[in-house]
Structures are given as C-alpha cells and as structure tokens.
Structure 1
C-alpha cells in the first residue's frame, strides 16, 4: 500500500496494481494504522485488515499497549484534531511531510477499555451511517429520478383531444 492507495478524507484504501521490485518495505498486519505522511491535510488513514507492505511515505502505527483498543486508537488518529496537529508540525510548503517524531508525541487520552469500546461503538455507527448516506444517496436519487420519469410519462399518456369520443 503506497500513499497513492490511501484515499483522502479517511475513505480507506484502493487496491494497488503496482508491486515494488526494489526498495525497503515496512510490513503491516491487521489492525495496524497506516497514515499518509505526505500532505497530511489530505487525511489519508486506514486501519489494515490484511498483511502487506508499504513504503516510507506511509507511517505504520502498531498498538503494543494492551490498555488501548486499536480501533479506539484509529478513531483518535482519524480525528481532525490529529491532522491539524500533524500539519502544525509538518515540514515543507509544496509537499508538506508529517514529522514522525512529533506524531509519536501526539497526546492520546486513555480511558478504561470499557469506555474505549463504547466510544468505538458509537463512532463506528456514525461512520456506517455516513458511508451508507454517501453511497446510498446517489442510488436513491437515481431511483427517484426513474420513478419521476415513469409517472411523468404515465401522466402525459392521457388520450389526445382528437381521439376522445363523446
């Protein structure tokens, strides 16, 4: 997974057609969090659901503390506050790059695991609702347009004046 495969605005990732033949890869495993490190304002972040590799333009965050729910950590890092923090510490003007050192200093609130699970449950429900609206709304509009056209055609199919009999 390269930075080009991570989708903007926390939209996950796209499949890669490119397999690197040289260079160093960083391994990721399920539940690792991948963050695009170039142009942090694009908000490229994905929680891995498979094993793979990535390059230096993508940071791999792996939770090694059992007191932190990995999905909770993802939700913290997917928040706008994290991306604003990342931009404040980024280097470069045209293609800003996040500071790995400063990212590791980002404060993570750690409530009890039961609270983390509840927070994750609520935020995941909102994510599902938001995604179903963005995916489902265009389809719903298309169906309503077809329904409108059907009834419009039906309404205009009344007998013409010259064919009306008394």
Structure 2
C-alpha cells in the first residue's frame, strides 16, 4: 500500500470525522443484483433505450440510441442503476442511469439491493465499477476470442469496499469535480484536458484502492 494512497484516504476520513478503517469488503452479489424486471418496448425511446452500441468506450457514458426496438419486453433499469457493456469488456463501457429505461442482454444492469440502499451511494458504486481494478478483473475472466463477454457469475464475485457514507460522499465529490473539469472542453485546451484526465485517473485509482486485511 503506497504512502501517497494512505495519505489521501486519511485526509478523506479526517475531513469527515470518521475512523479510517471503519469499512468492510463485500462481494458485488452481496450488495447488488442484476435487473430481473422488464419494460415494454413501447415505453422506450432514443434517450432511455441503451444498447451496447450507444454506450461510449473508455467510461465516457452514452449517446442517444440510433435504434430502438418496437416490440417485446426488455430488461428494465431505474435511475441510479449502473449499466456496463458486457461485450468486449476491454472497451470499458459504463454509465450510471439518470432516467428509467430499458436495455438488452448485452448490457449488465446492477441494482443495489434493498438492504444496502442506505449503506452505499449509487455514485460510489459507479465510481468503484469505473476503476481500472474492476475492468482488469472483468477482462481477465471474460470468455471468447473474437467477441469476448464478461462472465456474469464471476463479476458478481468481485469485492468492493464499503466505507461509511460520509467517506463515500467525500470520495465521490472529489472524483465528480475531476469529471466536470475533463468533460468540459471549454475549460481548457486539449493538452490541458489530457493532463487533467491522467490526473483524474491517478486519483480515482488511489481513492478507490482500499487496503485489504491480511
């Protein structure tokens, strides 16, 4: 564990006045589940239908869909659910929903279980699943050669940290500020944006890299 990381984590804990190591590790299957609900295609449109093709690579969210199914029932998602493209995990496609909508089997929908809705902030889950640690894990256990897919069962074995809500809020606030900066081209020249992106990636990995017990 790097000294720099411990300094960042201690700073976060000190600011919000909580005990540094007052957290535990949970498997994704303990705190989330894949969506099992369905939504009629008739309720979907270009904004709230999400296919893997309109999720953007490198964790850049999504664009409106150019194709929306007009028949059948699709996998439903709710606002604050986290969606991840399950085809070619190395593309790192992820989005936190800001609307209710629907998707298909090529996209995984992570819903926080009812028992944990007061214990984890949706955006903290999103930041956790946006980390390189998660995507490296997902890629490692993906199956297939030309069109690899993430292993849905193995993904649910991935462990995530569960610090107190104030620490979650603090970490999310820091990373959201970096998000706002690097995604607004009007705030800087391309070279500056590139440098901010690298800085953001550095802090995201450090802030989300919680120490494990031996």
- Ranges in structure 2 where 5+ consecutive residues have no aligned partner: 1-49, 193-214
Question: Unmatched 5+ residue regions in structure 1?
Answer: 141-166
Residues in 2 aligned to 1:82 and 1:120: alpha-carbon distance in whole angstroms: 17
Which entry has the higher C-alpha Rg, 1 or 2?
1
Equivalent in the alignment of 2:142: 90
The structure with higher relative contact order (CA 8 Å, sep 6+) is 2
Taking structure 2 as the reference length, the TM-score comes to 0.61
TM-score (norm 1): 0.79
Find the counterpart in structure 2 of residue 26 from structure 1.
75
Is the deviation greater in 17-26 or in 87-96?
Answer: 17-26
2:126 pairs, out of 61, 69, 74, with 74
Please, which of 83, 103, 122 is the counterpart of residue 54 of structure 1?
103
Structure with the larger strand share: 2
Aligned pair count? 139
- Does residue 131 of structure 1 match 2:199? no
**CA gap 1:55/1:18 in 2 versus in 1, 3 angstroms:** same
Give, in whole Å, the separation in 1 of the partners of 2:187 and 2:147. Answer: 31
Alignment match, 1:122: 174
